[in-house]
Amino acid sequence: MNIILLGPPGAGKGTQARRLEKERGLIQLSTGDMLREARTSGTEMGRKVAAIMDAGELVTDDIVIGLIEEKLKSGEGRGFIFDGFPRTLAQADALEDLLARHGQKLDAVIELRVDDDALVKRISGRYTCGDCGEVYHDDTKPSAEAGKCDKCGSTNLKRRADDNPEALKTRLMEYYKKTSPLIGYYYAKGLLHPVDGLAPIEDVARQIAGILDRIGSP
Ligand code: ADP
Ligand code: ADP
Ligand code: ZN
């Protein structure tokens, strides 16, 4: 099963993708995580994307499509959760081609619906574990022990450079201009499943599980 998690920055895509990975054995493919990794690896590509990401703009289609292509090649057919990809119609077309080439298809697009006020709160309270990637929030999902990751015990908890009010404004604008047309695109294909992303994390997970169970059983 291959699914897309679609939604604005802070909607909860990463949080739900990590759960699905654990609960359903799917593989999370986050282009944001891949790009952040590229930044720290000191490659030419990493240097090129750093300023774009910090400003909150979208990285070029060819770069992210290339990253996804590499992962699909190495994937073992367990199924993927695309988190933060596609973000443009060109990326959506490329994904369809790539999946077809690997004898696979898209099964569902889960749209996490959240209003803009909530996003500001989500983004300004977000921090993540630099070692295992677990996602936390100051108010809604704090780590049990301050400064320490519940999952792996690391004290390397970090906030993202682009999680500031100015970059968020640009990220939201990019989302509405370039990514939100995908909602209509996937609706027309009969693949869109909206969920209430404002609900607590557990509720959102239950809504998604219900959808996947329904499409998974004939
Ligand atoms: P968010 O948590 O805000 O949804 P991500 O971690 O998915 O953010 O992405 C962080 C940044 O990485 C984006 O603002 C953008 O600069 C870049 N990025 C990630 N995925 C893509 C993509 N599919 N296309 C273009 N740029 C991307
Ligand atoms: P995205 O990947 O879409 O940018 P994240 O999964 O990183 O979003 O979530 C953004 C922030 O909001 C994180 O701090 C996370 O802990 C928190 N969060 C995620 N889902 C919910 C929810 N349903 N209710 C409250 N807070 C949430
Ligand atoms: Zn951790």
pLDDT tens across the length of the chain (218 residues) = 999 999 999 999 999 999 999 999 999 999 999 999 999 888 888 998 999 999 999 999 999 999 999 999 886 668 999 999 999 999 999 999 999 998 899 999 999 999 999 999 999 999 999 999 999 999 999 999 999 999 999 999 999 999 999 999 999 999 999 999 999 999 999 999 999 999 999 999 999 999 999 998 65
Is 189 one of the catalytic residues? Answer: no
The Cα angle at residue 203 between residues 186 and 92, in degrees rounded to 5:
20
Residue nearest to atom 16 of ligand 1 (CA): 53
Distances (CA, A) of 44 to 37, 40, 48, 62, 91: 13, 11, 6, 15, 22
Predicted model pTM: 0.96
Residue nearest to atom 19 of ligand 1 (CA): 32
Closest ligand 1 atom to 33 CA: 6
Question: Does residue 122's CB lie within 6 angstroms of at least one atom of ligand 2?
Answer: yes
Alpha carbon of 41 to ligand 3 centroid (Å): 20
Amino acid at 204: V
- Rounded distance between C-alpha atoms, residue 182 and residue 95, angstroms: 13
| pLDDT for position 73 | 86
Which of 13, 19, 36, 122 is flagged as catalytic?
13
Ligand nearest to the CA of 134: 3
Among residues 113, 66, 86, the alpha carbon closest in space to that of 2 is found at 86
The β-bridge relationship of strands 126-129 and 135-137 is: antiparallel
Strand-by-strand arrangement of the 126-129 sheet: 135-137, 126-129, 157-158
Is 87 one of the catalytic residues? Answer: yes
Is 171 one of the catalytic residues? Answer: yes
Concatenating the DSSP letter of every residue in 82-132 gives: EES---SHHHHHHHHHHHHHTT----EEEEEE--HHHHHHHHHTEEEETTT
Is 22 one of the catalytic residues? Answer: no
190 Cβ neighbours under 8 A, 6+ residues apart: none
Closest ligand 1 atom to 86 CA: 23
